[in-house]
């Protein structure tokens, strides 16, 4: 896919840009699924790897947002005190979007006119 055509497509749809967590300035994110949907709605037939290559040419990087529920709970190395410890209760089942929906492209904000 032509990177200039992708730049025009993203600039025409600034609503797909989301502000990333943290303090990075001059960077916006686009969900990978939203970018693929935009390209498909424009009538272009582009494979996922071609889309990723075009995003890379625009200065983008593909990232997977971290799932905070996947972090270990409780101490990971040492048990701590003496005696019997209370067993951990059952973990809640993970609720939220499927992991592939957590993939984003981090792009310079200048692409969206910002």
Q: Would you say residue 23 lies in a domain?
A: yes
Give the separation between CA 15 and CA 99, rounded to whole angstroms: 22
Judged against a pLDDT cut of 70, whether residue 94 lies above it is answered with no
pTM of the shown model: 0.66
Number of domains into which the chain is organized: 1
Please give the residue range of the domain that contains residue 16: 3-67+96-112
pLDDT at residue 26, rounded to an integer: 86
On whether residue 15 sits in a domain, the answer given is yes
pLDDT at residue 103, rounded to an integer = 85
pLDDT at 100: 60
Residue 9 located in a structural domain: yes
Residue 33: inside a domain, yes or no? yes
Is 78 part of a structural domain of the chain?
no
Report the C-alpha gap between 43 and 37 in whole angstroms.
Answer: 10
Domain annotation covers residue 85: no
Segment 85-108 mean pLDDT = 74
**What is the overall mean pLDDT for the chain?**
79
**CATH number of the CATH domain containing 22:** 1.10.10
Residue 40 lies in a domain: yes
103-108 sheet: strands from edge to edge: 17-18, 27-31, 103-108, 61-64
């Amino acid at each position: 896919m032509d990177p200039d055509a992708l730049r025009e497509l993203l600039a025409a749809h600034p609503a797909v840009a989301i502000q990333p967590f943290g303090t990075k300035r001059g960077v916006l994110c686009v969900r990978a699924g939203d970018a693929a949907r935009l390209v498909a709605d424009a009538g272009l037939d582009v494979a996922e790897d071609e889309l990723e290559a075009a995003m890379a040419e625009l200065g983008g990087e593909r990232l997977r947002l971290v799932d905070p529920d996947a972090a270990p709970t409780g101490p990971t190395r040492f048990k701590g005190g003496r005696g019997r410890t209370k067993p951990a209760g059952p973990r809640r089942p993970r609720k939220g979007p499927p992991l592939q929906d957590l993939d984003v492209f981090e792009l310079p904000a200048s692409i969206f006119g910002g």
